[in-house]
Structure 1
Amino acid sequence: MAKVNFKMPEEFLLKVSRLAEKTDEIIPKVLEAGAEVVYDKVKSNLSSVIGKNTKVESRSTGELESALGVSPAKQDRDGNFNVKIGFAEPRSDGGSNAKLANILEYGKHGQPPKPFLKPAKNRSKGACIEAMTNKLESEIEKL
């Protein structure tokens, strides 16, 4: 039986070992870079739908838009890292920002939907992946 041995370059092996040691530092940075791209798109979409095409004068206070934010990257109990884009709670009037966002996204009786989340997700997917890839490559180059 034939036998083949491949020897990896020392420099490559050192980079891979350093990458393994720094994974918990690099992954949050990469996720946050991607989250910023999606956040910008969600914020612009939200701004474009609030108070537009309403039958009565808009009562928007700007509180929903200012409550939008990005969470820091955190590791869950399964070991997966997550970043969330969402709304801070509660509102100053005691209501829920998530409820208002849901009504905007999907509508309600007498109020047509004005989607802003799903289109932002779909349109920013490629740019998000690209930003995350660039951040990962830059972090690997630093090793």
Structure 2
Amino acid sequence: MAKAMMKMPEDFLLKVSKLENKTDEIIPKVLESGAEVVEDKVRSNLSAVVGTNTKLPSRSTGELESALGISQARQDKDGNWNIKVGFDEPRSDGTSNAKIANILEYGKHGQPAKPFLKPAKSQSRKPCIEMMKAKMESEVNGI
């Protein structure tokens, strides 16, 4: 049987050994930095589509945009870290923000779709990854 051995650079090994007890502190910070990029893009896309190209004057209250936010980074039962960008529930009138966002995103009979989530996802993917890489690097160098 063949055997392969690779040696890691010494400075990399030192950083990894320092990380072992700091990962639960660093990962949420890294995820939050990426989520902020996504939230900013969703917010700007949402502002651009709300109240545009309507037959009647807009009745927007700004409640959907103000409900947009970031959840806390949490670890699931499988040990994976997750963070969510979404809307707080419910609205002041008792209806669902998710319902209003869904109608905006996909439209309904008599109301054309005005996508803001899907474009935000594709537009913020690379900047989000770059921001998380930079944050991770700064956190690791700070140890």
TM-score (norm 1): 0.92
State, as a whole percentage, how many aligned pairs show the same letter: 72
Equivalents in 2 of 1:133, 1:38: separation in Å? 15
Q: Please say if 1:91 is aligned against 2:88.
A: no
Do the aligned partners of residues 71 and 6 (structure 1) sit closer, same or farther apart at CA in structure 2, a change above 3 Å counting? closer
2:107 partner amino acid: G
1:22: Cα distance to partner? Answer: 1.2
Do the aligned partners of residues 124 and 96 (structure 1) sit closer, same or farther apart at CA in structure 2, a change above 3 Å counting? same
How many residue pairs match? The answer is 141
Unaligned runs of 5+ in 2: none
Do the aligned partners of residues 5 and 97 (structure 1) sit closer, same or farther apart at CA in structure 2, a change above 3 Å counting? closer
Q: Deviation string for 1:25-75 (max 9, x for gaps)? A: 111111110000000000000001001100111111110110000111111
Structure 2 partner of 1:54 = 54
Structure 2 partner of 1:42 = 42
Equivalents in 1 of 2:71, 2:104: separation in Å? 22
1:138: Cα distance to partner? Answer: 0.3
1:126 partner amino acid: K
Do the aligned partners of residues 10 and 35 (structure 1) sit closer, same or farther apart at CA in structure 2, a change above 3 Å counting? same
TM-score (norm 2): 0.92
Equivalents in 2 of 1:94, 1:7: separation in Å? 60
What's the secondary structure of 1:100's corresponding residue?
helix
Equivalents in 1 of 2:7, 2:43: separation in Å? 50
Unaligned runs of 5+ in 1: none
Q: Please say if 1:127 is aligned against 2:127.
A: yes
Q: How do 1:62-77 residues align onto structure 2 when only pairs under 5 Å count?
A: 62-77=62-77
1:7: Cα distance to partner? Answer: 6.2
1:12: Cα distance to partner? Answer: 3.8
